[in-house]
A = this chain, B = another copy of it.
Amino acid sequence: MEIIIQKFGGTSVADAEKIRQAAKRVIKTAEKGFGVVVVASARGKQTDQLVADALELNPNPPKREMDQLLSTGEQQSVSLFAMALDAMGCDAISFTGSQIRMMTDSVHTKARIVSIDGKRIRRQLELGKIVIVAGFQGIDEHENITTLGRGGSDTTGVALAAILGAKLCEIYTDVDGIYTADPRIYKDAVKMKQISYDEMLEMASLGAGVMHPRAIEFGKKYDVTIHVRSSSEDIEGTIITHEVPQMEGVVVSGATIQRDMAKISLVGVDNVPGNAARVFAHLAKAKVVVHDIVQTEVSSDKANLSFMISISDLVAAKEAVEQIKGDINCRSVFVRKDIAEVSVVGVGMRSHYGVAEKMFEALAEAKVNIDSITTSEIRISCSVDEDQAEKALKAICGAFELHKPAETRNA
């Protein structure tokens, strides 16, 4: 029996009507002869409510107890989902993370999966049942309940697909797939039929927040085909899969905007081994997530070191930099707020020239000034003024014809 994993997020199980809708979709898949394993998140705003309940009692609740509390949200969803299926005449059974031995490490609130016992799920599938698994949660070796942190339910879905050798992991969500750009900004953006894990990873971490990078990494590592699709409409979404030859024909798959960034520049730092490491170790200790880093030599013994951070990390980052400033002999510190990063992503870049040139030309024509530039093998990012970011994205989308299906673009 071929197995399909169907993951429903919080909005897709928010109330009785939504649960019934999701259950109908599950039954349709089961009727085609597939073994269906459903992964469900907590209902709608349930998790927010529980967090509020916790904070009312304790501004800094112990993480173990937080996991104990939050995991109830998914447990409620899965039992209700099983009841809905039963009411439709369909045999179903729900499981918590504990019940399928979803073993994790003990890092509460952001645990990592260690192993899953697929036996119990398989046995129930063989009995003809639909299996509903609570996403986001596991247990450690002492039976303490853990949660997987952001994107946890996606990760549960992909991990189950891996362990059960599923044909597909379907992620049902409130968008109907991955677009070449954010359609709220670039209204001509088109839905991609498929995208590679690497491209999706770049786009996910650049803020195209449909799926959490971690679940995609998991998919890549264990070769799980992921289908991101709409929970309200029955149309094909976007397949995330391994790179296939025709993907390389497409130079740029998509473009993204990441807003609310700030840049910190350390000017005239002593250019000696270990100084950069010292800076970023210090920032990590302050829990600042550093995005792109640019270092340029300004003389034989001095360098300028810049890095991008989220504006929300700015206070912590500035404090950390002030503490370390003397140690690295930094002459001065500049902070630039109100910047955004526009990027193009595409595995085709590996084998095509001129992508950067085309991007810079498009920005120049649109009179957008580029602050700094960073690149990876399959991505080029330019930081620009926040208030020019949308104009920049539109210009780039036009230049790379992101309003057309991939196969009809001029490479």
Assess whether A83 is in contact with B65, with CB atoms less than 8 Å apart. yes
Point out the residues of chain B lying under 8 angstroms from A76, CB to CB.
50, 53, 69, 72
Contact A16 B80 (CB under 8 A): no
Q: Which residues in window 132-185 of A have CB below 8 A to B?
A: 143-145
Which residues of chain B are within 8 angstroms of A145 by Cβ–Cβ distance?
Answer: 96
Interface stretch (choices A56-64, A218-226, A317-325): A56-64
Nearest CB to that of A144 among chain B residues? B99
Query: Contact at A84–B58, with CB atoms within 8 Å?
Result: yes
For A64, give its contact among B53, B69, B93 (CB under 8 Å).
B93
- Measured between beta carbons, the chain B residues less than 8 angstroms from A19 are 57
Count of chain A residues near B, Cβ 8 A: 37
CB-CB under 8 A from A66, the residues of chain B are 79, 83
What B residues does A57 contact at CB under 8 A?
A: 16, 19-20, 80, 83-84, 87
Count of this chain's copies in the oligomeric assembly = 2
CB distance from A160 to the nearest CB of B (A): 18
Chain B CB within 10 Å — which of A62, A93, A144 has the most? A62
How far does the Cβ of A139 sit from chain B's closest Cβ, in whole Å? 9
Judged by a CB distance under 8 angstroms, whether A78 is at the interface is: yes
**Interface flag for A306 (CB, 8 Å):** no
The smallest C-beta distance from A69 to any residue of chain B, in angstroms, reads 4
Q: Any chain B CB within 8 A of the CB of A75?
A: yes
Q: How far is the CA of A273 from the CA of B383 in the complex (A)?
A: 95
Q: Which of the residues B20, B61, B96 comes within 8 Å of A83, measured between beta carbons?
A: B61
In the complex, chain B residues whose CB is within 8 Å of the CB of A96: 68, 145
Give 1 or 0 for each of A87-98: 1 = CB within 8 Å of chain B CB. Answer: 100000110101
Q: Is A2 an interface residue (CB 8 A)?
A: no
Within 193-248 of A, Cβ neighbours of B (below 8 Å) are at none
Q: With A and B bound together, what is the CA distance between A94 and B67 in angstroms?
A: 11
CB distance from A95 to the nearest CB of B (A): 9
Whether A308 sits at the interface, judged by CB under 8 Å, is no
Most buried by B among A16, A65, A93: A65
The reply on A392 being an interface residue by CB < 8 A is: no
Q: Chain B nearest CB: distance from A8 CB in Å?
A: 14
Bound-state CA distance A99–B194 (Å) is: 44
Q: Is the CB of A79 within 8 A of B69?
A: yes
Determine whether A368 belongs to the interface, using a CB cutoff of 8 Å to chain B: no
Residues of B within 8 A of A53 (CB): 16, 76, 80
- Which residues of B lie under 8 Å from residue A50 when comparing CB positions? 76
In the assembled complex, the CB of A378 is this many whole angstroms from the nearest CB of chain B, namely: 43
A86 at the interface (CB under 8 A from B): yes
Inter-chain contacts of A84 with B (CB < 8 A): 57-58
Residue pair A62, B80 in contact (C-beta under 8 Å): no
Further pairs besides A96-B145, A98-B143: 5, Cβ < 8 Å: A50-B76, A57-B80, A69-B79, A69-B80, A99-B144
Across chains A and B, which 7 residue pairs bring their CB atoms closest together, nearest first? A72-B72, A69-B79, A68-B79, A58-B87, A58-B83, A61-B83, A16-B56
